[in-house]
């Protein structure tokens, strides 16, 4: 039977540590670290994510500002808002909520953010620094997964790690971070032939697919660590991950639940990056 990796509890512990650091920062500098989030348009899921980020900032004492722009905003206008924030010493972290409306080029926007304020670490300078293993910020979801592993006493060194998904936000940086920890990493994706032959070899399996019950017990190794990055909403409104939790629970040695696993860690890592940004700028 698996141990459940409690992302909510680990997240609460890290947020308490961040709160203490924020107090110390404020005592030294006379102001708290600050995060500005830009949201363009009315995407309901994005609205919820942005509100959660704001609540989390308030919880740990980080100043939070949200700039809401209409869906018709031109790319040039958005770039000019970012430019202003780049030059504002009162702003330590900048995050543009994705996805953006189709007429805006995402790459131009994420690369416009000053790399020192790029708390998502999606810009190409930070992406390159992660590849080189010389970074200040890590993308929040993969960083959250690494914290879950470290704080659960799971050693990655020498393990067979399989990542499913190759996005710039999760899969690719996830593979890089597992490699930095000396894991032997395989990245699988929608074109992978015989996916189960890879997943069955995984000591650590990270799934970022976006399909409920995609990972079943017959696809995992006895004693594997299963990290579920999927967030899927079922027709009954319930949230679920990629993993058949009940089935895999019997066979795995550790598994993250959804909700309450990787999810809470993502926002916590954003708080950590904002604090790091403020420290580096001051």
d(CA 198, CA 215): 12
Neighbour-count burial of 177, counting CB atoms closer than 10 A to its CB (0-12 exposed, 13-18 middle, 19+ buried): buried
CB of 96 to ligand GUN, least distance (A): 6
Report if residue 140 touches ligand GUN, rule: CB under 6 A: yes
**107 is known as an active-site residue:** no
- What residues numbered 49-88 form the site for ligand GUN, per CB under 6 A? 49
**59 is known as an active-site residue:** no
Report if residue 226 touches ligand GUN, rule: CB under 6 A: no
Report if residue 196 touches ligand GUN, rule: CB under 6 A: no
The DSSP secondary-structure symbol of 181 reads T
Report if residue 111 touches ligand GUN, rule: CB under 6 A: no
Query: How far, in Å, are 37, 41, 50, 52, 188 from residue 46 at the CA level?
Result: 11, 9, 6, 10, 27
**281 is known as an active-site residue:** no
Among 141, 204, 211, CA closest to 172: 141
* # chain residues binding ligand GUN, by CB under 6 A: 7
Of 26-34, 95-103, 174-182, 273-281, the segment contacting ligand GUN by CB under 6 A is: 95-103
Report if residue 154 touches ligand GUN, rule: CB under 6 A: no
Neighbour-count burial of 148, counting CB atoms closer than 10 A to its CB (0-12 exposed, 13-18 middle, 19+ buried): buried
Neighbour-count burial of 41, counting CB atoms closer than 10 A to its CB (0-12 exposed, 13-18 middle, 19+ buried): middle
- Active-site option among 6, 21, 118, 120: 120
Select 120 or 244, whichever has its Cβ closest to ligand GUN. 120
Residues near ligand GUN (CB under 6 A) are: 49, 95-98, 120, 140
């Amino acid at each position: 039977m698996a141990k459940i990796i409690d992302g909510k509890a680990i997240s609460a512990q890290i947020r308490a540590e961040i709160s203490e650091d924020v107090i110390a920062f404020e005592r030294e500098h006379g102001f708290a670290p600050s995060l500005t989030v830009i949201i363009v348009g009315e995407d309901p899921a994005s609205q919820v994510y942005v509100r959660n980020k704001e609540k989390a900032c308030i919880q740990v004492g980080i100043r939070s500002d949200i700039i809401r722009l209409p869906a018709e905003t031109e790319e040039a206008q958005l770039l000019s808002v970012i430019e202003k924030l780049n030059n504002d010493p009162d702003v330590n972290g900048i995050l543009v909520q994705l996805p953006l409306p189709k007429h805006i080029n995402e790459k131009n926007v994420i690369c416009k953010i000053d790399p020192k304020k790029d708390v998502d670490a999606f810009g190409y300078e930070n992406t390159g620094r992660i590849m080189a293993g010389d970074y200040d910020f890590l993308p929040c979801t993969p960083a959250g997964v690494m914290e879950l592993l470290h704080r659960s006493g799971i050693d990655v060194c020498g393990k067979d790690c399989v990542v499913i998904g190759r996005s710039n936000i999760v899969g690719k940086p996830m593979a890089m971070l597992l490699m930095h920890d000396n894991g032997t990493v395989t990245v699988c994706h929608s074109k992978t032939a015989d996916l189960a032959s890879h997943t069955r070899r995984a000591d650590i399996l990270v799934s970022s697919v976006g399909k409920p019950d995609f990972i079943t017990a017959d696809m995992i190794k006895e004693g594997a660590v299963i990290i579920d990055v999927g967030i899927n909403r079922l027709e009954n409104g319930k949230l679920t991950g990629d993993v058949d939790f009940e089935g895999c629970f019997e066979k795995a040695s550790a598994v993250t639940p959804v909700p309450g696993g990787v999810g809470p860690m993502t926002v916590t890592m954003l708080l950590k990056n904002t604090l790091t940004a403020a420290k580096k700028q001051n």
